[in-house]
Structure 1
């Protein structure tokens, strides 16, 4: 199935195979609906994956398919990218990488460039309140837009790179989730996707490659090597199709 959507200001053309829909999407949505029935409250599902894996597109697709598969439940997708620190903060603050002090903007997307405390507080608010305003990141503005989304769904899908990160400050984030999902892929595939995405945001190919190789790929390695196990684990094959881990 072809799926066209705008993610953070960028038009995305995606496709999900019949196998993915039948073996992953439909069972997952039905499981989330069952969780909501049994818990009788809002359900929070977290999906973690490295940069470039397509997690934003997948949760958007799940929200779209939910209207058909579980029509009595409202499903809403949000991301943690709205908790990027603002561009002006990243430009004016420095950090140390490989013994060298650099502006934080040079590694934008690394765990340190997110406002973790604000993310935690907003997740708590999401769990406690019927309606919760949520920020959204716009890649064309290079900044989050505050209160961009009003979240009022039965089931909320939260996606982000570091929601399952097994590092100090981050490792308890997933404790707020009712269900967790992870996605993995080969680094070479992710690099190509990231360069294409960076170019689509208005960067030259040379600038995109330089940033991806210095910053994004370091974050890919962090996600692939330092994330906790999830309730459902998915992998992306060379053709871009999704599979449950351990299946062909």
Structure 2
């Protein structure tokens, strides 16, 4: 039986989401906790990766188990053994073909900047002592919507097969003593959001012009982009699936269950 898990995590202590041979990722901790509860090997699949130190308010994960679960009880049991910086928020049964990564149609990230030094935000926002030019950064950000190839904002030695992304929105907003950048797309390249933010901040600080930002996108040359913004300000905030996706997946699950030959589940 396939299940979707909705989780959140503070990425400060982890080397990103992904399982790694010599580093501690969120996926490893989640798998180990699930294995403790269910006493069977667990392989989870996430909706996408987050890098070292990056947070997730909303991450979806799927996994397969040979039993039917009580969602409320399962959430309670797993949260009791997960560390305090990882939370299981919900779990639901889905159809056997449901896929947390491939079925997602968009992801949204937010990057938070604190304009006032605050020790309680040290792990959750990038502190800037001087406010950048938000109007110019928003002007530059609109160019992201007009291109598909974002090689200029990709990691140099990534394993990506192509660098095309469809960006649906990208903008800055001002809050009290803070700036928040929101970017939504069908997919993101590894390290892409932090490179975009870092380069937009170069616009806001007057180091490059808005037109130069556009030329960086067009160049498809990673060496022309600015350095990546620090990870602590970045959050995966939303993963979207087709409308009524989970309702339809529940129907598929029960159809599959009812269609199984006697003795199977």
TM-score bucket (shorter structure): under 0.3
Task: Give TM-score, length-normalised by structure 2.
Answer: 0.23
Task: Give TM-score, length-normalised by structure 1.
Answer: 0.24
Q: Give the number of the structure whose residues are more often helix, by fraction.
A: 1
- Find the structure with the greater CA-based Rg: 2
